[in-house]
Amino acid sequence: MVLFKVSRIETTPFDGQKPGTSGLRKKVKVFVQPNYLHNFVQSTFNALTAEKVRGATLVVSGDGRYFSKEAIQIITKMSAANGVRRVWVGKNGLLSTPAVSAVIRERTGVDGSKATGAFILTASHNPGGPNEDFGIKYNMENGGPAPEGITNKIYEYTTTIKEYLIAEDLPDVDISTIGVTNFTGPEGPFDVEVFDSASDYIKLMKSIFDFESIKKLLSSPKFTFCYDALHGVAGAYAKSIFVDELGAQESSLLNCTPKEDFGGGHPDPNLTYAKELVARMGLGKSEPENEPPEFGAAADGDADRNMILGKRFFVTPSDSVAIIAANAVEAIPYFSAGLKGVARSMPTSAALDVVAKHLNLKFFEVPTGWKFFGNLMDAGLCSVCGEESFGTGSDHIREKDGIWAVLAWLSILAYKNKDKLQDKLVTVEDIVRQHWATYGRHYYTRYDYENVDAGAAKELMAYLVKLQSSLPEANKIVKEARSDVSNVVHADEFEYKDPVDGSISSHQGIRYLFEDGSRLIFRLSGTGSEGATIRLYIEQYEKDPSKTGRLSHEALAPLVEVALKLSKMQEFTGRSAPTVIT
């Protein structure tokens, strides 16, 4: 039994420790500055009520990116000094963000304890490595991200912090070996439990989906499958779920060894960064050597995002959540009693709205940030939700969940093919095209302008707000750019009043809504670590079944032209093209 003592270390505030929608993200070189991480962790402890810290059980793990191992030891020593009773760490410090949420909600420790919160070490889909990004966020006892009331408090404490508490003499814990290490401090015992990263999460997935029916699909010689973890933490789950539980071939797993630098890649599951998967699925610039698989999927660094692909076919995240909602009750046992409601983030296409109307479901449009869905779920108002930024999930946890989305799609494919495995397979593309025939198609794209000068980005947004005060002027610009685009009938800055707690979130994105149901949305994103990212969302609704098969970029070309003229994008940013198009 190792005894430790508590040290009070003097410190001074750092500028800019304001957590965004997904915590604090900065370059590694910022985080490794003396006291930088310590200040943020202590400010988090200061912002929480005493019963959430003293005697509490906290989870400390993440996506395994560079600097995670050091950060886990620092947070463990600070937890001990702040009166935390025990810390749970996933083996090798690895836990996906959805698995952390599941662990908080579902896991019971060896001594009967339950977790009340978590420090998650991730910068999500941002690159990792000594010159790349690191991040930290705090999740609450419901398994979801800390609400704004808490993150604002954390930030306030970071601006006035004078000291932090740490058990400097506490030895580093071996996080590569499962087991419990016991210590004693001034306030009594303190334990660190290292546990298997995957078992709690897999148990939860098996309670949601019919693994036997998915296994039957995967065993069919007609059905081929490919999963790309992009060297993120999803790799810690992929073999256990897809190979051991569901019987897929190990050769169907790509980049499933978690790496501190994600293999030098950008762990963002989209058509730009998941190059190897995209090529294998027949969506690359050249024809693949082998026949593409029927189904492909990718995950981001912390495995909360997903990309779904069919053979030579891309499913937009907006369509994906709508299709899951439309088929959930039939195909997924967890939802067999019906959906409580559905929700999407404001920039996500209105494909889900049409499904909700058709199925007479409660529907909510919320700001970007998973915590808004969490509130609805805690109140029993929402079962399935999603964001256009490759995030999909349900009320089984309080985070988006990449592997859950893949299992949901496999469940839908298994259901549609349950009596057809001897005949022609119902494919991903068949399911999507049938959905468009029933509900109409929302042509959709997103332009990201990354690392734009922050001042220029703010000027562009201010200009767009000012333009909203005169719709005739806005429509003059629209018609000058493209006479075939319909008129703007409403323009505003999106504001959300939470139906559960009444809180109001303002300035959540600039909207231009057109007469024919089309939309242009402009947002500044807080998920990058340097400069500003301007996101432009372009959506065209098409009800006519004879027009739902057009190429997306052709259908959207007129609106794209209007968006760039309306915003003076090149004039403000100096950019003639976006960094990424999704």
Q: What's 94-142 look like in SS3?
A: ECCHHHHHHHHHHCCCCCCCCCCEEEEECCCCCCCCCCCEEEEEEECCC
CA distance 65 to 325: 33
pLDDT the model gives residue 526: 59
Structure tokens at 529: 């670590």
- Return the sign of the alpha-carbon dihedral for residues 485, 487, 492, 497: negative
- Residue 267 CB partners (closer than 8 Å, separation 6+): 125, 126, 127, 128, 230, 231, 232, 273, 299, 300, 301
CA distance 382 to 84: 33
Strands 179-185 vs 2-3: parallel, antiparallel or unpaired:
parallel
pLDDT the model gives residue 1: 66
324 CA to centre of own chain? 17
- Residue 359 CB partners (closer than 8 Å, separation 6+): 325, 326, 339
Long-range contacts of 501-505 (CB under 8 A, 24+ apart): 501/375, 503/148, 505/148, 505/367, 505/372
Q: Which ranges of 417-568 does DSSP label H, i.e. alpha helix?
A: 428-439, 454-467, 471-481, 552-567
Specify the DSSP class assigned to residue 401. Answer: -
Structure tokens at 63: 């996506």
Q: DSSP 3-state assignment of 486?
A: coil
CA distance 312 to 301: 24
CB 209 within 8 A of CB 396: no
CA distances from 452 to 132, 245, 575 (A): 18, 45, 9
pLDDT the model gives residue 109: 86
pLDDT the model gives residue 529: 55
Q: Tokens 């994008």 sit at which residue?
A: 569
Phi, psi of 120 (to 5 degrees): -105, 125
pTM: 0.93
CB 42 within 8 A of CB 165: yes
pLDDT the model gives residue 290: 87
> Residue 296 pairs with which residues in a beta bridge?
226, 309
CA distances from 142 to 62, 155, 263, 370, 374 (A): 18, 22, 33, 13, 8
pLDDT the model gives residue 417: 95
CA distance 57 to 55: 7
Instruction: Per residue of the chain (582 residues), give pLDDT as tens.
Output: 678 999 999 999 999 999 977 899 999 999 999 999 999 999 999 999 998 999 999 999 999 999 999 999 999 999 999 999 999 999 999 999 999 999 999 999 888 999 999 999 999 999 999 999 999 999 999 999 998 889 999 999 999 999 999 999 999 999 999 999 999 999 899 999 999 999 999 999 999 999 999 999 999 999 999 999 999 999 999 999 999 999 999 999 999 999 999 999 999 999 889 999 999 999 988 888 889 999 999 999 999 999 999 999 999 999 999 999 999 999 999 999 999 999 999 999 999 999 999 999 999 999 988 889 999 999 999 999 999 989 999 999 999 999 999 999 999 999 999 987 777 899 999 999 999 999 999 999 999 999 898 889 999 999 999 999 999 999 999 999 999 999 999 999 999 999 998 988 888 999 999 998 899 999 987 555 568 899 999 999 998 888 999 999 999 999 999 999 999 999 999 998 998 887
Q: DSSP 3-state assignment of 224?
A: coil
Catalytic residues: 124
Strands 225-228 vs 253-254: parallel, antiparallel or unpaired:
parallel
Structure tokens at 389: 């930024």
The conformational region for residue 162 under phi > 0 = left, psi -120 to 50 = alpha, else beta, is alpha
pLDDT the model gives residue 111: 85
CA distances from 327 to 181, 320, 343, 435 (A): 46, 11, 15, 10
